[in-house]
Amino acid sequence: MSYQNEYDQSLSNPVSYWKKQAKAIDWFKFPETILSKDDDDLYRWYKGGQLNTCYLALDYHIENGRADQTALIYDSPVTNTKQKFTYQELLTETALFAGVLKNLGIEKGDRVIIYMPMIPQVVFAMLACARLGAVHSVVFGGFAAHELAIRIDDAKPKVILAASGGMEISRIVPYKPIIDEALEEAKHEPEACVVFQRDFVKAELKEGRDFDWNDLLLKAQPASYVSVNASDPLYILYTSGTTGQPKGIVRDNGGHAVAMHFSMKNIYGIKPGEVYWAASDVGWVVGHSYIVYAPLIYGCTSVLFEGKPIKTPDASTFWRVINEYKVKVFFTAPTAFRAIKKEDPNGDLKANYDTSCLKYLFLAGERTDIATLDWCKKMLNVPVIDHWWQTESGFPMIANMTGIELAPIKPGSAGRSVCGFDIQILDENNQVKSNNEEGAVAIKYPLPPGCLPTLYQDSERFKSSYLKQYPGYYFSGDGGYKDEDGYIYITGRIDDIINVAGHRLSTVEMEEVVASHPAIAECAVVGVADDLKGQIPVGFYILKSGVDKTVDQIEEELILKVRQTIGPVAAFKRAVRAERLPKTRSGKILRKIMRAIADQKKFTPPSTIEDMSVLGELEVLMKNQKIGMIGR
């Protein structure tokens, strides 16, 4: 079967196509209806279906001969630890931890926030929630207390699961003080906080509220899986939106399980029993889908890597892991390879490792620049496949569907639409643009199974954020164009979201923090091009009159404020004083134009611009301050 055939089938009859795909997983009760609408007039997949995601990821494989196969490999260069878990062992750990949660009163539908680094316990915790039908919400460890507090107030968890800390190369990051601060700030009070104590950092436990992970394990009995509805949520994952309030992306159990299975087979082209490695973090969607759920649901071995591409201990780590565990398919962000290339441009360290086990390298999180693609190809001698997706979709929307047909790779393009995704490039009047013309990347609604059905307890925001701009379509927030062969080129976000080292961040959130500094009259945060991280945020501020601090002092305070409020992951390291900001006559700051100046891209100022001369001023400022491309 060719890609084109399969793709055409998926669009001409989505119901029969996704019914066929659904048969690949083991339902307790096969869905009665494949596609229907809910009370909010939103599409839902697999109504009436009953299943359990943890059962599919673990018990199913044990019942089908994989008990002794390695399910999870934990490799932690930052703590010098390596550990393997068979499917049977992973089930034993998970079922026992589900018993802990049960003893804490966790039931189907209860929310559990997980704030943990890349250790096996985070996998036990996620799967244990799924086992009980509880809804987990993992918060990335690089977020600060305030961000955690926002998520606690939105998800209203009964329990928080945490570790005492993480290790950032060699910097210990104690998690418990962050959790305590977040709980101080949040209005919602969880009933309990369970802490896994790591050897290198001990958390203080508050009597009555905080519990030691291992103590609770001693009192627990293994818990079995419960049956949940296909439409019941498996998890909520918060992601940056274009306001200060992150969006709670909901993932349902049924569509997700089908999509995970489907993508391993058809996109990643891997077989059950083979080793899959996604070098990401469980705090991001890549970690949810391709460290935990998809490899396990598909019966692969997944690698859980607690380290960085460089400095843990050096730029050979990725080659070592691929070689040591015979990784078949590897997935990471281009920025990781840019970091390796910077340290070891000729790949001298690669010479010590045989990586011939590898079949494909997949890259996502940002566009794969051609230099990085070429370098990876030279190093690994395998197809290097850029593919495009989002937290919202949960699995790739544009890719090379290698499991169906390895199509020619066009550098700069993320590939063609994945089966089930009718992706179009639209103009502002909702009309499809001609080939090679840039526009908004939109997808015919309904989206396939696995994609977000709605936002957590906010279907109105779901509609206004994604469905209103282009009637009949889901708007991705990205711009791009399609060529005559159907290959799509993503040109970047056309909203206020930026991607820093493959991490999705909101400039609006950063602006809110900068603007709250007492010396700041006005500000704009824009993402400018960066050789290593793809983009980095830069703040431009106007001082209030009468402030007697130096620009260095102000910059230092703003950087610290963003780090303490949003977290180190924001990578906010530049704040520059400006005299004026470019605005429209109605007072709207022209951030896109600021970004275009920094990146030395062509732009047309709107006719509504208040004063053209400010653009020249900004150009000079950016050049002098060495900001973006213009400052080089």
Residues at the site binding ligand COA, with contacts judged by CB under 6 A: 141-142, 166, 168, 173, 279-280, 284, 286, 308-310, 332-333, 335-336, 339, 364-365, 501-503, 568-569, 571
Query: Which residue number, 255 or 502, has a Cβ lying nearer to ligand COA?
Result: 502
User: Residue 137: which of ligand AMP, ligand COA, none does it interact with, CB under 5 to 8 A by kind?
Assistant: none
User: Residue 46: which of ligand COA, ligand AMP, none does it interact with, CB under 5 to 8 A by kind?
Assistant: none
Contact 314, 343 (CB under 8 A): yes
Q: How far is the CB of 21 from ligand AMP (least distance, A)?
A: 23
User: Residue 67: which of ligand AMP, ligand COA, none does it interact with, CB under 5 to 8 A by kind?
Assistant: none
DSSP string across 368-385: --HHHHHHHHHHH-S-EE
DSSP string across 477-541: EEEEEE-TTS-EEEEEESSSEEEETTEEEEHHHHHHHHHTSTTEEEEEEEEEEETTTEEEEEEEE
Which of 448, 360, 371, 365 lies closest to 406, judged by CA? 360
Contact 388, 397 (CB under 8 A): yes
Query: Which residue number, 284 or 572, has a Cβ lying nearer to ligand AMP?
Result: 284
Q: How far is the CB of 303 from ligand COA (least distance, A)?
A: 13
Query: Which residue number, 254 or 537, has a Cβ lying nearer to ligand COA?
Result: 537
Q: How far is the CB of 220 from ligand COA (least distance, A)?
A: 28
DSSP string across 1-65: --HHHHHHHHHH-HHHHHHHHHTTS--SB--SEEEEE-TTS-EEEEET-EE-HHIIIIIHHHHTT
Contact 197, 139 (CB under 8 A): no
One-letter amino acid at 5 equals N
CA gap 367, 311 in Å, rounded: 24
User: Residue 388: which of ligand COA, ligand AMP, none does it interact with, CB under 5 to 8 A by kind?
Assistant: ligand AMP
Query: Which residue number, 84 or 563, has a Cβ lying nearer to ligand COA?
Result: 563
Query: Which residue number, 104 or 451, has a Cβ lying nearer to ligand AMP?
Result: 451
Q: How far is the CB of 331 from ligand COA (least distance, A)?
A: 7
User: Residue 168: which of ligand COA, ligand AMP, none does it interact with, CB under 5 to 8 A by kind?
Assistant: ligand COA
Prior bond of 334 cis (ω within 30°): no
Beta bridge partners of 161: 114, 194
Query: Which residue number, 166 or 254, has a Cβ lying nearer to ligand COA?
Result: 166
Q: How far is the CB of 35 from ligand COA (least distance, A)?
A: 30
Query: Which residue number, 395 or 481, has a Cβ lying nearer to ligand COA?
Result: 395
User: Residue 576: which of ligand AMP, ligand COA, none does it interact with, CB under 5 to 8 A by kind?
Assistant: none
Query: Which residue number, 289 or 323, has a Cβ lying nearer to ligand AMP?
Result: 289
User: Residue 400: which of ligand AMP, ligand COA, none does it interact with, CB under 5 to 8 A by kind?
Assistant: none
User: Residue 478: which of ligand COA, ligand AMP, none does it interact with, CB under 5 to 8 A by kind?
Assistant: ligand AMP
Which of 152, 180, 150 lies closest to 165, judged by CA? 180
Q: How far is the CB of 384 from ligand AMP (least distance, A)?
A: 12
Query: Which residue number, 138 or 576, has a Cβ lying nearer to ligand COA?
Result: 138
Q: How far is the CB of 409 from ligand COA (least distance, A)?
A: 19
Query: Which residue number, 264 or 286, has a Cβ lying nearer to ligand COA?
Result: 286
- Residue 303 DSSP code: E
Whole-angstrom CA distances from 66 to 286, 300, 356 are: 24, 10, 25
Give the position of tokens 């009995």: 221
Query: Which residue number, 333 or 380, has a Cβ lying nearer to ligand AMP?
Result: 333
Q: How far is the CB of 499 from ligand COA (least distance, A)?
A: 9
Whole-angstrom CA distances from 575 to 31, 527, 622 are: 54, 12, 11
Query: Which residue number, 328 or 387, has a Cβ lying nearer to ligand COA?
Result: 387
User: Residue 493: which of ligand COA, ligand AMP, none does it interact with, CB under 5 to 8 A by kind?
Assistant: ligand AMP
Whole-angstrom CA distances from 331 to 57, 361, 536 are: 20, 6, 22
DSSP string across 146-188: HHHHHHHHHH--SEEEEESEEEETTEEEESHHHHHHHHHH-SS
Q: How far is the CB of 37 from ligand COA (least distance, A)?
A: 33
- In the complex, the residues that contact ligand AMP under the rule CB under 6 A are 239, 285, 364-367, 386-391, 414, 476-478, 490, 493, 499, 504
Q: How far is the CB of 551 from ligand AMP (least distance, A)?
A: 32
Whole-angstrom CA distances from 459 to 17, 117, 151, 209 are: 27, 31, 17, 33
Residue 20 has φ and ψ, to the nearest 5°, of -60, -45
Q: How far is the CB of 400 from ligand AMP (least distance, A)?
A: 11
Beta bridge partners of 72: 85, 302
Q: Which two tokens stand for residue 251?
A: 């993932």
- Give the containing element (helix H, strand E) for 90: helix 87-103
User: Residue 173: which of ligand AMP, ligand COA, none does it interact with, CB under 5 to 8 A by kind?
Assistant: ligand COA
61-75 burial, b at 16+ Cβ within 10 Å, e below that, comes to bbeeebeebbbbbbb
Q: How far is the CB of 287 from ligand COA (least distance, A)?
A: 8
One-letter amino acid at 441 equals V
User: Residue 309: which of ligand AMP, ligand COA, none does it interact with, CB under 5 to 8 A by kind?
Assistant: ligand COA
User: Residue 537: which of ligand COA, ligand AMP, none does it interact with, CB under 5 to 8 A by kind?
Assistant: none
How many alpha carbons fall within 13 Å on the CB side of residue 534?
24
Query: Which residue number, 142 or 439, has a Cβ lying nearer to ligand COA?
Result: 142
Angle value at C-alpha 66, between 31 and 285, nearest 5 degrees: 60
User: Residue 490: which of ligand COA, ligand AMP, none does it interact with, CB under 5 to 8 A by kind?
Assistant: ligand AMP
- CB proximity list for 612: less than 8 A, separation 6 or greater: 605
Burial of 396 (0-12, 13-18, 19+ CB in 10 A): buried
Query: Which residue number, 55 or 362, has a Cβ lying nearer to ligand AMP?
Result: 362
User: Residue 285: which of ligand AMP, ligand COA, none does it interact with, CB under 5 to 8 A by kind?
Assistant: ligand AMP
Contact 240, 506 (CB under 8 A): yes
- CB proximity list for 136: less than 8 A, separation 6 or greater: 111, 112, 113, 114, 125, 126, 129, 130, 234, 235, 236
Q: How far is the CB of 215 from ligand AMP (least distance, A)?
A: 36
Q: How far is the CB of 504 from ligand AMP (least distance, A)?
A: 3
